[in-house]
Structure formats: structure tokens, C-alpha cells
Amino acid sequence: MVVGTGQNKASGKAEDAMSSSDAEDDFGEPATPTATQAGQALPLLPQQFPEVVPLNVGGMFFTTRLSTLRRYEDTMLAAMFSGRHYIPTDAEGRFFIDRDGTYFGDVLNFLRSGDLPPRERVRSVYKEAQYYSIGPLLDNLEDIQPLKGEKVRQAFLGLMPYYKDHLERIIEIAKLRAMQRKARFAKLKVCVFKEEMPITPYECPHFNSLRFDRSESETKLFEHHCEVDVSFGPWEAVADVYDLLHCIVSDLSARGIAVDHQCIGVCDKHLVNHYYCKRPIYEFKITWW
């Protein structure tokens, strides 16, 4: 009996201790909630926007209607001002977009009335339209110059095997040679040829094509690599060697690289009998400063 009583007392004390602890928990300060608990306890309410929205885009101020920002539902602006996402405000209460606002006015003008920017701003506005995912503006800009011409140019360059790789090679070779010589500029030889192999007097190309009917052994007689740093070609298109040279110089210039070029002759590699390569060779001069 004594043993049994002792166990009951111990059990009672344990229960009393538990009760005391529970009571203290009821009156103690609550533990810091986790992010998940806080989210469950305090759900974020949809952000409310006024009908007339003041904007601060990278430090430039704009004012527009909320319906203008929501004009196309599949755009980033429509999503931002849908109320599903929080947008911070500046000290004056303007809704802040952390983006250069130089061309945001052109974006707004299109959303308001479909106006397109002048030609000199088309490329820059196109980048903004890409950032804000405004598909209708992108489509309209792609149908005017200079972007329409750029689409045609890229279609032509799509015929060039390894065009971008060859541009990088030109830059790397020129940089390495200039650094080795401690010079302002570097020169390299570039071959640009349209036909894969020369035409003999006894051959005619296929109609509207640059291909020929040659046996495999005959073809190998004409295969060789000109002794140049970089070689572009061949391709099948109306655009000629000078068109490709223009593309090369334009793309290098767009990257801030000053380049001059001139034809310095042709490849005099002997192929077979009295036939020689005759592909044009150009000297490219890359100036670094």
C-alpha cells in the first residue's frame, strides 16, 4: 500500500508540474512565428491601385490610367498592376519600377493610342517592349524599319555556317596580336567567298543555284582551305560578297570595334590543271584605341 501511495504522489506531482507549465505557457509571450505561420495567420491582401496611377520609373515620373497599364492582359505591366503583386512606392507615394525610364513614355503612348516611336528610337523601344512582354508592340515594331530590314538581314546570315563564331575569332585574333605587339591596331586576313568552288569553262551551275554535278573525285580536287585567319562562305543567295562584308563590319562596329578592310588580292592556290582558287582575300584592320 505504501508503495502504491508513493507512486500516486509522484504521478500527482508530475501532473501538477505539467499543469503549472501549461498555465505559464498560457500567460507567457508567444514564440516568434515562422514565415509560413505568419503567412497563414496574416494573409496579404490584394494591393489596391487608384484609377489614375502615378509612376516613378527609374527616377522619371509618369501618370496614366490604370486601364492603360492593364490594356493587354498578357504583359508584365498588366501582371504588376493586377493587385496580385506588391509594388513599392517612393516617398511621394508613386509606384516604383526599377527600370530606366528613358523610353517608358514611348511604351505608354503605344498602350494609350497605338502610337509608334520615330525610327531613331525603334531599337531602344523594342528592348523595353521585350522587358515588359508587350507582344502587340513587338509585332508592330518588327514590321517597320530598321527592324524589318534586320529580319531580312538575319535570314541571310542564317545561311552562313558559324557566322557568329567567325566574328568572335576575328576579335580574339586581333586582340591577341595587338597585345603581343603592344600596338593600337592589328591586321588579319579574311576570305569571303560565295561559290564553294570555281566554275570551269565546261560546267554550268544548276538553274538558280550554285551547285554542280561533279563526281566525288572531281570535287576533292577543288577542296582546300585558303591561307587566311578566318573564312566566310559559301552560301546560296542573291546577296553577294559585298553584302556579307557589310554585315561583318556592321556587327563588329555595333560592338564598339573600329574596323577597316580592303581587298589585297585573291587566293592563288593551284587546284587542278590550269585552275586556281581565286577567292578574294581581304585585310581587316582592327583599331583598339
Task: Provide the pLDDT for residue 30.
Answer: 42
Task: Provide the pLDDT for residue 129.
Answer: 97
Task: Provide the pLDDT for residue 94.
Answer: 96
Task: Provide the pLDDT for residue 9.
Answer: 43
pTM of the entire predicted model: 0.65
CA–CA gap between residue 96 and residue 182 (Å, rounded): 48
What amino acid is encoded at 230 in this protein? V
**Short-list 167, 155, 165, CA closest to 235:** 155
**DSSP-derived secondary structure for 60-77:** EEEEEEHHHHTSSTTSHH
Q: Which long-range contacts (CB under 8 A, 24 or more apart) does 32-39 make?
A: none
Residue pair 95/54 in contact by the 8 Å Cβ criterion: yes
Instruction: Measure the CA dihedral 140/141/143/147, to 10°.
Output: -170
What is the distance of C-alpha 282 from the center of its chain? 31
Task: Provide the pLDDT for residue 207.
Answer: 43
| Per-residue model confidence as pLDDT tens for the chain (289 residues) | 444 444 444 444 444 444 444 444 443 444 444 444 444 444 455 788 999 999 999 999 999 999 999 999 999 999 999 998 899 999 999 999 999 999 999 999 999 999 999 999 999 999 999 999 999 999 999 999 999 999 999 999 998 889 999 999 999 999 999 999 999 999 999 999 887 554 444 444 444 444 545 555 555 555 667 889 999 988 888 899 999 999 999 999 999 999 999 999 988 876 666 677 888 999 999 999 9
Task: Provide the pLDDT for residue 23.
Answer: 41
Task: Provide the pLDDT for residue 274.
Answer: 61
Number of residues written out for the chain:
289
What is the distance of C-alpha 17 from the center of its chain? 67
**Short-list 153, 142, 152, 141, CA closest to 107:** 141
Instruction: Pinpoint the alpha helices (H) of the chain.
Output: 2-27, 35-41, 66-69, 76-80, 104-113, 122-131, 135-142, 147-157, 163-181, 216-222, 241-254
Question: Quick check: helix, strand or coil at residue 164?
Answer: helix
CA–CA gap between residue 226 and residue 108 (Å, rounded): 54
Structural domains in the chain plus CATH codes: 52-144 (3.30.710.10), 158-200+224-287 (no CATH)
What amino acid is encoded at 146 in this protein? P
**DSSP-derived secondary structure for 204-254:** -PPTTSS-----HHHHHHH----SSSEEE----SS--HHHHHHHHHHHHHH
Task: Provide the pLDDT for residue 279.
Answer: 87
Task: Provide the pLDDT for residue 180.
Answer: 95
Q: How far is CA 116 from CA 55, 71, 106, 131, in A?
A: 21, 16, 7, 17
Q: Which three cell numbers stand for residue 85?
A: 503583386
User: Going by C-beta distance under 8 Å and a sequence separation of 6 or more, which residues neighbour residue 18?
Assistant: none
Residue pair 189/282 in contact by the 8 Å Cβ criterion: yes
Task: Provide the pLDDT for residue 223.
Answer: 62
